[in-house]
Structure formats: structure tokens, C-alpha cells
Chain A
Amino acid sequence: MQFNFKARDWHNWTSVILAIPLLIVGLTSIFLAHKKELKLNELDLTSAVSWLPGYGNNTITHPRTEIRASLMDTDGSQWIGTQAGLYRMVAGRSEAIKELGDAPVRDLVRAPWGLVVATKYGIWVLNEQGWSRPLKGDAWNASLGQDGQVAVSVKDQGLLLSRDGLDWQPAEGVAASLAALPPTEAIAERITLGKLMIDLHTGKAFFGKNWEWVWIDILGAIWGFLGFTGLYLWWRSQTKRRDAARGKLLQEAQHG
């Protein structure tokens, strides 16, 4: 038996099959690099993309069972914060809090004036008037002080304090005192092998966090370009060979 390995054929076919994934990975990386600027996470496409194999029913409903926070309330009920919404458990039955929707819950605090829920989409408060969201933002952690104040840490806004749940003010001096620490007391970023690999991949190692998009954009565009040109060259060769075969067939038919 003779093993006839045609390297060029294998190379050509692998390239053609890889062209579409190459395009997807290359072009989507540009979107990932500008996710915040383009506000891509504000567009909800759940129903439009649920047909994709990776987004089966199990995947979409799974976060509901991922519990991230809980609070035993004074009336005996229990609040359960999940990766997809807030639930109240009374006598073993859970009830979804519709106002919060599918917001990922990070923390729960019972203050004298109401319940505070720190979520990815902002701070929610339940008081006598019902549910409200006095502040939008990526809230992480909530804690109750002895004076009845609640402190919530919010991404890009720092530590915020409130005495009534409606008015949230930055905690004065906290960020300034942290920034005023001498450089010797500041913790330097640890670069592990795993982090180095990620930074080499994303371009942070060459351009820094603020400019890594340059690396991503250039490589993504090149990948997209190579995908398109490769596909076009293959398509052109196939149509030319087809035309040649058709011409030859017609010629032979004319000559009898």
C-alpha cells in the first residue's frame, strides 16, 4: 500500500475551512478591544442569538442557580441574590423580584430605612415606597455602619455612602488617603507566567493596558484581511478551473 500524502492539497483545504473561523475570531477581537467605548454590553440580543448551539436553554437559565449573596431578614424570609436576579424565599418557596430583572446581585444589606442591593447594574433600594434604583453603576460590595449609613463600592465611582438609600455621596478622603500612600507601601503588580502569557496575547506587554487595542486592532484587521483574500483566491481558482473544464467539454462536443 502506498501512502500518498499531498501536502499542498491538505494545506489548501485546511486554509479554506479555516477562513470563516479566522474571520470571526479576527473581526470579533476588534469589537472586544472597544467593548466599553461602543457600549456593546448595553445591547441585549438574548432572544436573537438563543438559536446558537452554545446558548441552549440550560446555558441561558443556568445563572439563576448561581447564588452570589444571601440575607436572612427580620421577618423570617430569606433574600437570595443570584447571577441572574434577586429572589425572596418564604416558607421554602422562591419568588422573583421583577424590578431587578436579571441583574447579577453582588451583595445585600438590611439598613434601618430599607434593603440595599448591590448589583452589576446599580444600587437598588427597597423602602416604604417600594423598589427603586437611585444609582446606576457596577456595584460590588455593601456594608452597614453603626450609625445606619450604608457604604457601597461602585466601579469607577469609588466608595459611596447613604443615610436614606436615595442620596449617595462619595466617602470623603478614602480614595485620597489610599492614593497618598508612599510608593514603598503600594503593592506592585505581580507578573506571573500565566499573566505574562495573557499580556503577550492581548498586547498589554507591548503597549500597556491603555493602548493594547492598537495590537488587537492591527492583528484583528490582518486576520480578517487574510481570511477574505484567501477565500477570494480559492474562489477564483475554483471558478477558473470550472470554466476551463466547461470550455474543454464544449470544444470536444463540437468536434464530435
Chain B
Amino acid sequence: MAKALGITLAILFLLSLLIALGVFTHGLYARWQMQRYKRLAPPVRAPQKPREISRPPQ
């Protein structure tokens, strides 16, 4: 009984580790995809400041 419980818990532990690894890998993949989308997007131009008109000294 105790041995079976130990085996069950060990299997659950391994499963949780596999899930954690899967989540980690998927997170890395999502990050890679995000960077790819950003590279494909045209560069956003920064809004230009209004030019200051230089006035001759009075």
C-alpha cells in the first residue's frame, strides 16, 4: 500500500515536472514568435518635434 502510494506520488511528480518543462518551452517559443513579429513590423517613426523658428535678435 505504502509502496503503491510512493509510486503514484513519484509519477505525479514526474508529470508535474514534464508540465513545467512544457510551459517553460512554450513560453520561450512565444517569446521567439513575439520577436519575429516585431522584426516583421515596419519601424515606427518617432513623432517629430515642431521645429523652432529661429528669430533674428531684435
- The answer to whether A and B come from one shared complex is yes
B3 adjacent to A43 (CB under 8 Å)? yes
CA distance A224 to B38 in the complex (A): 34
Residues in B9-38 with C-beta less than 8 Å from chain A: 9-10, 13, 16-17, 20-21, 23-24, 26-28, 30-31, 33-34, 37-38
* Contact bitstring A230-255, B, C-beta under 8 A = 1, else 0: 01101100110110011011001000
B20 adjacent to A238 (CB under 8 Å)? no
Residue of A nearest to B38 (CB): A245
CA distance A228 to B24 in the complex (A): 10
B21 adjacent to A242 (CB under 8 Å)? no
Question: Closest Cβ of chain B: how far from A38's Cβ, in Å?
Answer: 3
A interface, by DSSP: helix, strand, loop or mixed?
Answer: helix
B27 adjacent to A31 (CB under 8 Å)? no
Chain B residues whose C-beta falls within 8 Å of the C-beta of A242 in the assembled complex = 30-31, 33-34, 37
Chain B residues whose C-beta falls within 8 Å of the C-beta of A219 in the assembled complex = none
Chain B residues whose C-beta falls within 8 Å of the C-beta of A40 in the assembled complex = 6, 10
Q: Which of A16-24, A60-68, A163-171, A198-206 contacts B (4 or more CB under 8 A)?
A: A16-24
CA distance A227 to B7 in the complex (A): 23
B interface, by DSSP: helix, strand, loop or mixed?
Answer: helix
A19 adjacent to B24 (CB under 8 Å)? yes
Interface residue? B41 (CB, 8 A): yes
Chain B residues whose C-beta falls within 8 Å of the C-beta of A190 in the assembled complex = none
A252 adjacent to B41 (CB under 8 Å)? yes
B26 adjacent to A235 (CB under 8 Å)? yes
Interface residue? B40 (CB, 8 A): yes
Could you write out 13 A-B pairs with CB less than 8 Å apart?
A: A24-B17, A31-B13, A39-B2, A39-B3, A39-B6, A40-B6, A224-B16, A235-B26, A238-B30, A238-B34, A241-B34, A242-B34, A248-B41
> 7 closest pairs, A vs B, by CB?
A38-B6, A245-B37, A242-B34, A235-B27, A238-B30, A242-B30, A238-B27
**A interface vs B, CB < 8 Å?**
16, 19-20, 23-24, 27-28, 31, 37-40, 42-43, 224, 227-228, 231-232, 234-235, 238-239, 241-242, 245-246, 248-249, 252
**B interface vs A, CB < 8 Å?**
2-3, 5-7, 9-10, 13, 16-17, 20-21, 23-24, 26-28, 30-31, 33-34, 37-38, 40-42
